[in-house]
Amino acid sequence: MIELRNLSKTFPTEEGLFTALDQVNLTIRDGDIYGIIGMSGAGKSTLVRCINLLERPTEGQVLIDGEDLMSLSPAALREKRRKISMIFQQFNLLMQRTCLDNICFPMEIAGVPKAKARQRAKELLEVVGLPDKAEAYPAMLSGGQKQRVAIARALASDPQVLLCDEATSALDPTTTRSILRLIQDINRRLGITVIVITHEMAVVEEICSHVAILDHGHVMETGTVEEVFSNPKTEAGRKLVYPDETPQEASGQGRMVRIVFKGGSSQQPLIASLAIDCGVKASILRANTKTINGQAFGTMLIGLPEDEEQVGRAMAYLNSQPNLTVEEETGNAE
């Protein structure tokens, strides 16, 4: 288990100290795929580098299985880091080495005999689906293939934790999905804890079970992906979950209500039912559906008349429906 306790990180600047992380507290269970999401500048990359102490926190604790990395000697920390691997947006492969030699590199540093390292590297190329690329150089590979080699290299040290820092941001959507499927498969087969740093909602929805929303160095929300994405409770969460909504959508629309559908309830004819059963004419301002961990979820922003009686009937009807979360919006749609 990974625990971050009161973790803070500051950097000196010409204007004074800049706080990149402020009292961050997170618990990540063994074998989880945990997403940390936020906009640019939220502190995501600083956070992930603090987990393996590539950036040393200004204060706080980083505990892995109860052991505080901040208290380890340099030699003990180096040993612990071998169990925490990392993959990056830009792959960071050694261009003058073949794919096989890139994968062997961390094993060479660890003193693994050459023959054993090469055999392990070949096995890892099988794991990532590139058995025929052993003697190819990175310049000969596509972006997705480079990332697969980078993943194989990260697995060479038999890690317990895999840190993914915007690992799919440089890839096209189809390749991104294939890499995410690979990471998910590795998590299931090898039981490796995966921490995904991203600004892309689709990445978290695709493979993560839990998520933390980071904003200007603060953890704003945590929970299961279903909990956080179906009902974000903070402005930072809402901007990420509903990025396309604008204040203009609220103008002239009367009272607004957000409806979150859970599971199969997204197929209910709610707007028709409001009109037929309640005599309330509602307008759809925005709607979308998504699949999270194999289940269908949907959100709908509707406009209701200003009439209090009609709003009351509509809210009573909506709140009586199973598997719905209903919330009246105030001010605007953001």
Task: Using a pLDDT cut of 70, give the percent of the chain over it.
Answer: 90
pLDDT of residue 292: 67
Q: What is the mean pLDDT of residues 183-187?
A: 93
Residue 248 has pLDDT above 50, yes or no: no
197 three-class SS: strand
Residue-wise pLDDT for 269-287, tens only, equals 778 888 888 888 888 887 7
CB 187 within 8 A of CB 194: yes
C-beta of residue 51 within 8 angstroms of C-beta of residue 84: yes
Residue 330's pLDDT band (boundaries 50, 70, 90)? low
- The pLDDT-based confidence of 296 (bands split at 50, 70, 90) is low
List, in sequence order, the alpha helices (H) in the chain: 44-51, 74-81, 99-109, 114-127, 143-155, 173-190, 201-207, 225-230, 235-241, 270-278, 308-320
Task: Output the pLDDT for position 195.
Answer: 95
DSSP helix/strand/coil, 193:
strand
Ordered DSSP codes for 21-85? EEEEEEEE-TT-EEEEE--TTSSHHHHHHHHTTSS--SEEEEEETTEEGGGS-HHHHHHHHTTEE
The C-alpha atoms of residue 297 and residue 160 are separated, in whole angstroms, by: 32
pLDDT of residue 332: 45
Q: Which of 283, 278, 288 is nearest to 318 (CA)?
A: 278
For residue 267, the one-letter residue type is Q
For helices 99-109 and 143-155, the axis angle rounded to 10 degrees is 30
Asked whether the beta carbons of 130 and 140 are under 8 A apart, the reply is no
Mean pLDDT of 244-260: 63
Q: What are phi and psi of 290, to 5 degrees?
A: -150, 160
Q: Which of 280, 278, 275, 283 is nearest to 252 (CA)?
A: 283
Task: Report pLDDT digits (tens) over 103-126.
Answer: 999 999 889 999 999 999 999 999
**pLDDT of the residue at 117:** 94
Q: What is the per-residue pLDDT across 139-182, written as a single tens digit (0 to 9) for each?
A: 999 999 999 999 999 999 999 999 998 888 888 989 999 999 99
Residue 245 binned pLDDT confidence (cut-offs 50, 70, 90): low
Q: Terminal CA-to-CA distance of the chain, rounded, Å?
A: 36
Residues 6+ apart with CB under 8 A from 37: 44, 197, 198, 199, 200, 201, 204, 211, 212, 213, 214, 240
pTM (2 decimals)?
0.80
At 297 the three-state DSSP class reads: strand
* pLDDT tens, position by position, 75-100: 998 888 888 999 988 888 999 999 99
